[in-house]
Structure 1
Amino acid sequence: MLKFILCDSSESDAVFIRRVIKLIAEKKEYDISFELISYLPSEVQEYISENEGLFVYILETSFGSSEIDGVELAKFIREKDRDSYILFCSKDKEYILKVMTALIRPSGFVIKRYNEGGGLEKLENMQLYIGDIYRDYLNVTQKENVLHINVGPDIYKIEYDQIMYVESFQKKIYIWTKNQRIGYYDKLSSLEEKLGEGFFRCHRSYIVNLNNISKVNFPDMVIEMKNKAKIPISRAQKNGLREILKKYESNIFEREFV
């Protein structure tokens, strides 16, 4: 379960934010809970000093008469907790630069929009940020051999053994499985870290699933996958590929490594 801590100086805003996040979670079937809803940074500081875990912190940037603002609270959180998610939620756009230069690695900045009566009525991109955070949370916490990726508002669950290879093209990542291609925006290096063992980056634009290789032709610098796709090998990765394939050759006799 992904746990949320919400700190906002306005009680009505906090109620609205909680309701929006709960609706997103219900619609997308995210498993979440709210551990703390507070209007004072000091209460959040006290809570995280006494409790450990992976949290999503939803923070306002300004707390009126409080001695610290949301950025200072986020710095305190980062000193105690390097892995949790911090999402700022504020009407003050001028805080964006301060947030981005404060070395606190926020997950995003949600802009509050108010109606003419002064009531909060919209949280820009909240669904997108919550989706990104929940996808990353699943990849971090679930030890099953499954990759979770975010495509728009949807999260795809892809079993590792179904992945043939991954291709980077024009700032998008394309995951080729046994029966489909899924494209989304990300960096190949970021996905490489998530995939880990069993996958090898054979070229600056390609990652292959070592368990789904059919043939490797080193003279022609080409890998043939089980789905007949041909993937190039860069000269820089040739020796590294030879070494890692030695771990697989003894167990997979039908493969041909030339």
Structure 2
Amino acid sequence: MQENIRWINLCTKKEDSDVSISCLIVDDEPLAVQLLESHVAQVPFLSLAGCAYHAIEALTFLEKQPVDLIFLDINLPHLSGMQLKELLPIDQKVIFTTAYSDFAVESYDKNAVDYLLKPVTYERFLKAVLKVKKVEPTSKVNIHLDSIFVKSGKDFIRVRLNDILYIEGLKDYVVVVTSTERIITYKRLKDLEQSLPNQFSRVHLSYIVNHEKIYKVVDNQIVIGGAQIPLSEKYREGFLQKVYKELL
């Protein structure tokens, strides 16, 4: 228990207050709302924008004031939290709250950040919100992975990193392209970019390429596996710096 308290204190140190995450509590139980309000108040990087007691009130609030994160009760009157999630923007970050564990699998299928069982303890609450905290890395970490899992529909597909040619962004989806298949997954290119090792580079608003698969670079085109990937001005300098490091 003592280690848990020490861990919580370390995670809420003062410098975290520089990061601000606005949030909305949506719950029809006043006591549950009060508990979440208390938890939010104890986290320096959270800012409570408001509370709503049913789905329509939440939608009305969000039209006027979008937030970074929603604590969303599943068992709401008239329109459930699961149904409300379907009406929200695809990239809206949601942490579901409920008194029932039966919804856990469905909540993650809805691309929720986390799933909290009531009564929500502060320690569990903090672990959930730390997943949302936005920390911009000063440089990309060199991740030593041979393969990753890509979620496509209900399937989890293992893909070797060295088999990936490039990744194309399509709004809120990305297509992972190998020499043998194209895997579509529900994820933003920006989010995926941060989790890839240094052999991958963003070269365009819609493309990430695997350096080890590049055949040649011609003007503003990168040729990989028969495909021509555009190289935009925004990413050109950083990309060419990597190329020059391998130049004979």
TM class by shorter-chain length?
A: 0.5 to 0.7
1:49 matches 2:12: no
CA change 1:161–1:75 in 2 (3 A) is farther
Residues 12-67 of structure 1: CA distance to partner in whole angstroms, max 9, x if unpaired? xxxxxxxxxxxxxxxxxxxxxxx9xxxxxxxxxx995355599xxxx995876689
AA matched with 1:111: I
C-alpha separation between the residues in 2 aligned to 1:198 and 1:192? 11
Deviation at 1:113, TM superposition (A): 7.1
Aligned length: 180
CA change 1:60–1:189 in 2 (3 A) is closer
Q: Which residues in structure 2 correspond to 1:52-201 (within 5 Å)?
A: 68-76=34-42, 78-79=43-44, 93=55, 105=69, 109-112=72-75, 123=103, 125-129=106-110, 144-201=145-202
Q: CA RMSD in A?
A: 4.6
C-alpha separation between the residues in 2 aligned to 1:61 and 1:217? 56
Deviation at 1:184, TM superposition (A): 2.2
Residues 62-87 of structure 1: CA distance to partner in whole angstroms, max 9, x if unpaired? 876689422332443x449x9xxxxx
CA contact (8 A) 2:168 2:176 kept: yes
CA change 1:103–1:47 in 2 (3 A) is farther
CA contact (8 A) 1:71 1:102 kept: no
CA contact (8 A) 2:108 2:114 kept: no
CA change 1:165–1:93 in 2 (3 A) is same
Deviation at 1:236, TM superposition (A): 3.5
CA change 1:65–1:240 in 2 (3 A) is closer
Indicate the residue corresponding to 1:249 in structure 2.
Answer: 247
AA matched with 1:149: V
CA contact (8 A) 1:200 1:207 kept: yes
Gaps of 5+ in 2: 12-24, 47-52, 78-98, 116-130, 132-140
Deviation at 1:241, TM superposition (A): 2.4
Deviation at 1:176, TM superposition (A): 0.4
Deviation at 1:102, TM superposition (A): 11
1:235 matches 2:233: yes
Q: TM-score, normalised by structure 1?
A: 0.51
CA change 1:174–1:238 in 2 (3 A) is same
AA matched with 2:107: M
Q: TM-score, normalised by structure 2?
A: 0.53
SS state at 1:230 partner? strand
The more displaced of 62-71 and 146-155 is 62-71
